[in-house]
C-alpha cells in the first residue's frame, strides 16, 4: 500500500467520522429531552444521568476520531 493510498483512506475516514459526530451532536441538541426520557425509561436511569452519559460518549468518540483517523492522516501528511 502506498503512502498516497493510506493518506486518502485516513482522510476519508476522518471526514466520515466527523460527519457522523456532527450529526450525532446536532441530533442530541435538537432532541435532548426526548432522547433522555426515552433512554431513561429503557434503562431505568434518571434523565440527568442519560444526558451526562451522552455527553461523555460524544467526548470519547471525538478523542477516538483524533487518535485513530485524524492523527494518522496528519502524520502521513507530514512525511
Q: What is the per-residue pLDDT for 36? A: 87
Please give the average per-residue pLDDT across 23-50, as a whole number.
Answer: 90
Task: With a cut of 90, say whether residue 67 has pLDDT above it.
Answer: yes
Which residues in 32-51 are b (16+ Cβ under 10 Å) and which e?
eeebbeebbeeeeeebeebb
Q: What are phi and psi of 46, to 5 degrees?
A: -80, 145
3-state secondary structure of 2: coil
Note whether 49 and 38 are within 8 A (CB). Answer: no
Q: What is the per-residue pLDDT for 3? A: 94
Report the C-alpha gap between 30 and 72 in whole angstroms: 32
Task: With a cut of 90, say whether residue 14 has pLDDT above it.
Answer: yes
Amino acid at each position: 500500500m502506498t503512502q498516497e493510498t493510506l493518506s486518502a483512506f485516513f482522510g476519508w475516514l476522518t471526514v466520515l467520522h466527523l460527519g457522523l459526530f456532527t450529526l450525532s451532536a446536532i441530533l442530541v441538541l435538537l432532541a435532548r429531552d426526548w432522547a433522555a426520557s426515552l433512554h431513561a425509561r429503557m434503562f431505568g436511569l434518571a434523565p440527568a444521568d442519560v444526558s451526562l452519559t451522552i455527553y461523555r460518549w460524544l467526548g470519547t468518540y471525538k478523542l477516538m476520531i483524533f487518535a485513530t483517523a485524524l492523527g494518522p492522516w496528519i502524520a502521513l501528511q507530514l512525511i
